[in-house]
Amino acid sequence: MKPTIIGIAGGTASGKTTIAKQLYEEASKLGSVVLIRIDDYYYGKINVPKTEDGRVNFDHPDAYDVDLILQNLNDLINHKAIEKPTYDFVESKRTDITEHIEPAEVIIVEGIMAFAIERLRKYFDIKIFVDTPDDIRFIRRLKRDMIDRGRSLDSVVNQYMSSVRPMHQAFVEPSKKYADIIIPDGGHNKVAMDFLITKITQLIK
């Protein structure tokens, strides 16, 4: 039986990861579920596209190893285990460590470009877009990058203005039209979360 594949997209720091983790934790109580973050499929900073002013652009669809993402998804669909890559955001490179993942009834795929990449979007049975105001997302990203990734204030702001914001407007925001469900306020939207958990429960049963 083919697994159900759920895609979760939205802007940077919109709450995608919070929703994905909540769905994973609840669904894991009922059956087999795997969670894949497409950020783990980033190319190293040497191979990603550049902005107009020559900066590394991690916010473009071509920054991801889409071929490997699809290979891993196809293996899981065909009930084969995979070795998923992991990414070091401090060093901006893929690590030598992989995560062993067994096939499951439900596959959750989360990432800002999940719907912007057409080849990937076609795999999703359910598409969820997390819609959070720009100012909230920027504040969250600023805190995350400075605290968790050791970035300076200037570097976070410069990256946001040179690639994050324009790439969001060019790719992420337009991809919202492909969503089956749009969730305002991310994981803080209890009504939406209850609905999603109920739907996944039905799928697993």
Per-residue pLDDT tens over the stretch 21-34: 988 998 888 889 99
User: Who's near 198: CB < 8 A, 6+ residues apart?
Assistant: none
Q: Whole-angstrom Cα distance, residue 68 to residue 2? A: 20
pLDDT of residue 127: 96
Count other Cβ atoms within 10 Å, centred on residue 128. 25
pLDDT of residue 54: 74
Q: pLDDT confidence of 185, banded at 50, 70, 90?
A: confident
* Spans of all domains in the chain: 4-204
Segment 156-184, tens digit of pLDDT: 898 888 889 999 999 999 999 999 999 98
Could you tell me if 59 and 163 are in contact, meaning their C-beta atoms sit under 8 angstroms apart? yes
Q: pLDDT confidence of 187, banded at 50, 70, 90?
A: low
CATH class, domain 4-204, is alpha beta
* Alpha-carbon separation of residue 163 from 10, 42, 183, 199 (angstroms): 16, 15, 25, 36
Sort strands 33-37 and 106-110 into parallel, antiparallel or unpaired: parallel
In 3D, which of 187, 177, 148 has the Cα closest to residue 17? 187
Segment 96-147, tens digit of pLDDT: 999 999 999 999 999 999 999 999 999 999 999 999 999 989 999 899 989 8
pLDDT greater than 90 at residue 203:
no
pLDDT of residue 149: 84
Q: Whole-angstrom Cα distance, residue 100 to residue 109? A: 16
pLDDT of residue 62: 93
Identify which has the larger pLDDT, 53 or 9.
9
- The model's pTM: 0.91
Segment 51-99, tens digit of pLDDT: 777 778 888 999 999 999 999 999 999 999 999 999 998 887 889 999 9
